[in-house]
Chain A
């Protein structure tokens, strides 16, 4: 083997991270001042990394496509952040958090990375409290916890239903402090469209100034991608409209390999699609499953009546309600992991028991919790989520059960990184959702915030020093180098090519077409035949796209259509890779269900004998098949079992 060196430190699991830190290189304060780092993206991972690196003394240049770093999509995370504090005395520990995360990810993540994540989780809570993040408190003044899916303990810290917002604003505050100190140069409304590689090392980026349309060059001794996930390849997802995979995809084309692209998470509790004018889907936090009970009618005729609008939920008595999660999974009930809950909803709806006019929705009912705990308690726990639901649907969830359906939410796959979070391009790092590393085939709720902040506050600031310690002799990167010329020309040519097609259809048109194919064939259930068909269909859309795309507006000016066109062009290529990866993995694991690999009871069946690896894809050039490398996954500290939540 091979091109992949995961650099997992030797020694017992619990000592790996401390041993590693003790042996890696450190840059002296005097030398840090001479080193430049680019951070792309300012969400939880990028924002916390940029601030922490600047505090250490590095010169940081940060980019975001939004009009302010505070608007990165981490802001929309609702429910909470996990940590192994064991404040609730319910037998939590670093090991338990590690174990549940590995198990939740269906044994497709690295033990060493996940253990480290659990290990630093507690420091994150301390850090955020010190920043003034207003976490929920008990009456005695101590931090409050709630439960989340896939966990047997209550370890989720939260700030109402706006935990992501509050954590991001904490990181944004830290970032602002460094901007004020002159240690971070912040570029808002800039989109990074290529990575510049010189002598095999990442040395800069090419960015488009989204206000002027200018293509700009930036050099640095190391580049950090914190650009989030690629869920928008499905067009409809819970991601923000601007979320995209372009920087990561261009990094892939420059030599950074891509890990497990087919692993995307479908979140069970989103507001259902209302019609073909829909632009995005809204998540309803997993925390709602603490108190909401999921059900559909037991009788098909009741479902038909609900679909036709001749009956309402309140017409169906308790004994005719099928609380299918409680029925199928008595030990975890409504709090099974996301992939399990999503599939169970789809199974009921496919069988005809859906509860809205499209037949694609199930109930999430708070009637029972309100009866038990009172409306006030429920209002306090979920008030803002209920308000959000009511504004969108015009239905009051205090009086009528919510209707929910699964939607694309998160990408576990991403750029492959080693234990130091470095990609296969030396000097190029990927952190947060942008990398593949910690969640295996399924992410547990409240773990994305944990991973983003772990990477940005407590892991990258250490591991990047190991690389930069060898770069202290490297002078400032010259952005007039021929590699910058080439990369800038590459970006300009690519945009020009899209702009000059002068066809008849908007970027959104193709994006929606792609989304339909993705959802149909690379969505919640996949099979070889469908995946092969998807590859053909995507190739067809791509052909039409390059023939019939219309980009209106001016080339060298603010142009939202051109931005979208470039993102869709990358999504079309990424979609193909996802299909190939899904086709290769003929097992069901986590969010990836192959209908060929199921138990007789209809549960997902993992195949450890053949697929206990990370699929790592290498770009081989335009119109060439990518090459797959395998990083075998070793499990020394957990027993591999078929996941059961029964």
Chain B
């Protein structure tokens, strides 16, 4: 890798660099197409991971080992992982449906996409045709990491500080919006729960299950207390209380 870095800095394309490029470039393309074509969201994300990994190696090939590794660690390792996290929680069967809602939209999208890619590719090719890269050796004179660090902490320090402040604001804002905090006083600790349970007017024992002393096992049938009264605590509040008629409550001939 070191020799490749040196050669890239000198402006030439080494054999190793070329071989790596021609192996990884198709893979990156396959990843990009697979990401769009895959119907399962998780597969889509995995194809994107492949493309990002290839991009990371491309950066390394282009004499930017630091940015390449950071691409792999941050984008592939952390951000895509969080994406995957969300997709997995959404559920594994959430595949896209292939029904076109707008007629002819897919063909139009393919056509426009190809046209756009052609325009951008052609423009870049025409602009860069015959130019040779200069300044890479000077930029990497003290090492790639040191060169990036020098730029980050001198020329672009305010831009990066502002960006980070913006990102932090967004993150904190999202957390504040999504977070419901219970105040410490609102939380019932064990002692408070116990006191509330033994408060006058509250029956501290467990609720009787429905139908315990009743003649029917329906949840709508209230339980009977030992003294024969019905207890309303045994039935859910949303159910109508159902009293049994004398005929229903009479023995069903099982105790002959």
A and B, one complex? no
